[in-house]
Amino acid sequence: MKTIQWGILGTADIAKKQMLPALQRTENAQAHAIASGSGKAETLAEAFHIPKVYHSYDELLDDPDIDAVYIPLPNHLHKEWSIKAARKQKHVLCEKPAALKQAEAVEIKNVCEENKVQFMEAFMYRFHPQHQLVQKMLAGNAIGDVVTMRSSFTFPLQHTEGNIRLHSQADGGGSLYDVGCYCIHAIRQVMGEPDHASAFYSFHENKRSDWAAAGVLTFPDGRLAHFDSGMNAATRNEYEVIGTKGVLRAHQAFIPTERPCRVSIELESGESYSETISDNYYVTGMQSLSLGLLEGRDWPSDGFKENASVLEQLIKS
């Protein structure tokens, strides 16, 4: 069976803990090469049986056997290497946020279209079946008309010394870019595109990156949604959709991995029910993306330009 050959740019933890294990379990895809200038690539290549190691990203992009690349680099490098990969005719799966500004997203999209390659921002949670269940419930009017939505993603950052999450906001650091972007993405999937977004921040002692953010999105029809993100609080990764007849909650929305995930509904009538689903969304996602390439289908389009636009508004507010 033909497989998609993936190249990995960098040795970030998310590649080591999520993407590379998923590729080992994906029938139609293989990690063909990994590149790093730090010397860590050899260790990961040995651990995950990756055939080729490169000591620069450019060398990996020049490999004619690579079909697609995964980019888990620091946020401020996403645009540069997405564009370089596209110009080498590699399909691109780039970690979020793929762009820090809408103009960057437009440039990435244009270069990918010019070079006839697929691009997706790696909100891999979208492949977990709980979110298809949510969409089915909402489409079936399970909670009535959607009135508002709340989304939260927080965690306690354990190691702060030299942590790239504490880079300045201008370089893509802080809780909004790291985890708040998930909240914005989820809200947009349910409620559509906002016409305004604003936020408040609690800054780390370095005064450059936000420890926490809280914001509001408004929509053309008058509805509101709100979110909070943080790197200084207990772990939460959830959203709730409030309708005219009840409330729907996704309790482990963004980092479920393979543990059971619960979607629940509580109705005004007093009725309640829930469903629990388990799945490795990285394996499911990589199977889907690789199959799309093999069958000549477009990757899912979930408006990464629009997500970048909302993030840019929030940073400027």
Q: What is the pLDDT of residues 125-178, one digit of tens each?
A: 999 999 999 999 999 999 999 999 999 999 999 887 778 888 888 889 999 999
pLDDT confidence of residue 281: 94
In the chain, where does the domain assigned CATH 3.40.50.720 lie?
4-123
Residue with tokens 């016409």: 195
- b/e map 291-304, b = 16+ CB within 10 Å: ebbeeeeebeeebb
Write down the pLDDT at residue 71. 98
Q: The domain at 129-278 falls in which architecture? A: 2-Layer Sandwich (3.30)
- Six token digits for residue 122: 């790696």
Please give the pLDDT value at position 257. Answer: 67
Per the confidence metrics, is the pTM higher than 0.75?
yes
The matching CATH number, chosen from 3.30.450.20, 3.40.50.720, 3.30.450.40, 3.40.50.2300, for 4-123 is 3.40.50.720
pLDDT, residue 312, reads: 96
Q: What is the rounded distance in angstroms from the CA atom of residue 41 to the CA atom of residue 35?
A: 6
CATH 3.30.360.10 in the chain is located at: 129-278
- What stretches in the chain show pLDDT beneath 50? none
Query: Which tokens sit at 169?
Result: 């906001």
Q: What is the chain's alpha carbon radius of gyration, rounded to the nearest angstrom?
A: 20
**Model confidence pLDDT, tens digit, residues 112-129:** 999 999 999 999 999 999
How high is the pLDDT of residue 31? 98
Alpha helices in the chain (DSSP H): 13-14, 20-24, 41-48, 57-61, 78-87, 102-114, 129-139, 175, 181-191, 281-295, 304-316
